[in-house]
């Protein structure tokens, strides 16, 4: 910024002599010349970078006009999130504190809504095979408590993938004002079992539950699909009340997931619709609230695996799922 006060030289630019000032007055003038620009520079720096010293690129424009600057979104893949990148992954998930949601355009729009995110499997299931192999009642029949899940050929596990996407999704939904709960956060030795996963969503009176997975099909099988609950009434299972709303939720997630990630619906299941109905999943059979599963891609296909192991792509996946949930909850 240029200084616009009176000339500090005793002569003007054209050489015309100016009246001499007293030494005291000259001293005050010089002091002001130094202090005023310094103060302005300091104020502009504060307006640009804020008290935390991290500029978001919007800077002085917002400060000068009195308008709010653009919201700060999580820094994906820059190593500054505070979380270590999982093995086989190109980027780490943002921490919840990395993006508090302050100033986001949808802040508060889901206030009062409860979303349960169900990250499939558990990173330490492999250490508890006896526990996860025991069977539980899912209404239609008995099924294993849980499984270890699949992995890419390079060893990046489905359990680590689902937890990473769950963290990203939680942050996005919290920015919208929703209350978000996870069925597990690598905070237990194994599981929970599929029947308990359903009970967690039911007990929370969730407005929507999404179980996150990645498939382990053959090479060449690509794309995502969303699994919807079929109409089941057997034993402890009765899905009749949730079939309709779950289908609505699944359709919205499928459409927004495709748009956000640029990926196509599965080429090996669902007939190109990206939607599959099943009656053999305990997490769906025992749910009393709207719930779907999403298989985000096939970990055993090299092209899909390249996406699933990318932090930038996982952020897009979380964004797509989030947008589908938000659309569903807004009605």
Is residue 295 part of the annotated active site? The answer reads: yes
Burial of 98 (0-12, 13-18, 19+ CB in 10 A): middle
Q: Tell me, what DSSP letter sits at residue 279?
A: S
Contacts of 147 (CB under 8 A, 6+ apart): 121, 125, 132
Torsion of Cα atoms, 84 then 88 then 92 then 93, to 10° = -110
Q: Is the CB of residue 117 less than 8 Å from the CB of residue 183?
A: yes
Q: Which of 107, 131, 279, 295 is catalytic?
A: 295
E strands within 145-236? 179-182, 208-215, 225-229, 233-234
Phi first, then psi: give them for residue 201, nearest 5 degrees. -65, -40
Beginning with the edge strand found earlier in the chain, give each strand of the sheet holding 291-298 in spatial order: 179-182, 114-119, 208-215, 291-298, 225-229, 275-278
User: Please, what is the Cα angle at 114 between 280 and 290, to 5 degrees?
Assistant: 30
d(CA 42, CA 49): 11
Of 197, 224, 181, the residue nearest 121 (C-alpha): 197
Catalytic residues: 295
């Amino acid at each position: 910024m240029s200084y616009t006060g009176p000339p500090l030289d005793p002569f003007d630019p054209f050489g015309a002599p100016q009246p001499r000032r007293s030494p005291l007055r000259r001293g005050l003038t010089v002091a002001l010349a130094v202090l005023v620009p310094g103060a302005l520079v300091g104020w502009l720096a504060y307006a640009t970078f804020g008290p935390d010293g991290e500029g978001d690129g919007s800077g002085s424009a917002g400060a000068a006009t009195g308008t709010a600057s653009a919201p700060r979104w999580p820094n994906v893949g820059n190593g500054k999130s505070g979380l270590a990148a999982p093995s086989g992954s190109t980027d780490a998930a943002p921490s919840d504190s990395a993006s508090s949601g302050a100033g986001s355009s949808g802040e508060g729009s889901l206030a009062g809504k409860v979303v349960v995110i169900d990250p499939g499997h558990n990173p330490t299931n492999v250490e508890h095979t006896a526990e996860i192999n025991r069977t539980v009642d899912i209404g239609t029949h008995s099924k294993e408590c849980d499984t270890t899940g699949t992995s890419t050929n390079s060893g990046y596990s489905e359990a680590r993938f689902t937890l990473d996407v769950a963290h990203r999704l939680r942050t996005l939904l919290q920015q919208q004002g929703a209350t978000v709960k996870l069925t597990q956060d690598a905070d237990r030795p194994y599981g929970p079992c599929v029947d308990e996963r359903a009970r967690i969503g039911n007990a929370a009176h969730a407005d929507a539950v999404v179980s996150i997975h990645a498939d382990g099909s053959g090479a060449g099988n690509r794309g995502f699909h969303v699994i919807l609950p079929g109409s089941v009434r057997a034993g402890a299972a009765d899905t009749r009340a949730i079939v309709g709303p779950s289908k609505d939720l699944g359709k919205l997630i499928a459409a927004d997931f495709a748009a956000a990630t640029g990926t196509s619906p599965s080429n090996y299941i669902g007939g190109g619709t990206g939607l599959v109905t099943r009656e053999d999943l305990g997490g769906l059979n025992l749910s009393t609230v709207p719930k779907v599963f999403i298989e985000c891609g096939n970990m055993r296909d090299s092209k899909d695996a390249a996406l699933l192991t990318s932090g930038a792509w996982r952020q897009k996946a979380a964004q797509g799922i989030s947008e589908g949930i938000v659309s569903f909850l807004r009605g």
